[in-house]
A = this chain, B = another copy of it.
Amino acid sequence: MRKDSRLSRMLHVLVHMHHLEQAVTSDNIAIMLGTNPVVVRRTMSLLREQGYVNAVKGHGGGWTLAKPLHCITLLDIHRSLSEASLFTIGLTDEHTNCPIEKAVNLAIDDVLHEAGQLVLRRFAEVTLDKLAVEYTAKLS
């Protein structure tokens, strides 16, 4: 099953942006990620819509952080990128009146919902400045 690595990639980019302290172009980010500038714009614009980055056109333009890293959590970025389910497991809805299907779906959903809540709670606890610590520690 295909995986969505946009969260990992965008976090990576955001922390690098913090250290650069100047605008980065989509082209540069694309090279860094081994992808395409249009794909970068598509993804970064989701973060822009939520107010985590700014985009500036023209000479010297590009992407900058709109908030300090300690004001952004993993959950913020995760939510900006995807409203889709965290899980690769899906339920069925073909026999909605079948009590067996209902029982099966309830049992699975109960567990996935609890685990999903755990993930969101934990993502909310991690601010991006924590991810930068190891890096800055290495520099000093």
What's the Cα separation between A119 and B99 when bound, in Å?
Answer: 23
Question: A115 interface residue, CB < 8 Å from B?
Answer: yes
Q: Does the CB pair A91–B135 fall under 8 Å?
A: no
- Which B residues are in CB contact (< 8 Å) with A87? 3, 86-88
Smallest distance from the beta carbon of A122 to chain B beta carbons, Å? Answer: 4
Question: A34 interface residue, CB < 8 Å from B?
Answer: yes
Chain A interface mostly helix, strand, loop or mixed? helix
Q: Given that A12-B101, A90-B8, A102-B134 are contacting pairs, would A74 and B2 also be in contact in the complex, using a CB cutoff of 8 Å?
A: no
Q: Does the CB pair B89–A3 fall under 8 Å?
A: yes
Query: Given contacts A12-B92, A33-B94, could you give 15 more A-B pairs where the C-beta distance is less than 8 Å?
Result: A3-B85, A3-B88, A5-B92, A8-B91, A8-B101, A11-B107, A15-B103, A74-B107, A84-B88, A99-B134, A99-B138, A103-B133, A104-B131, A107-B130, A107-B131
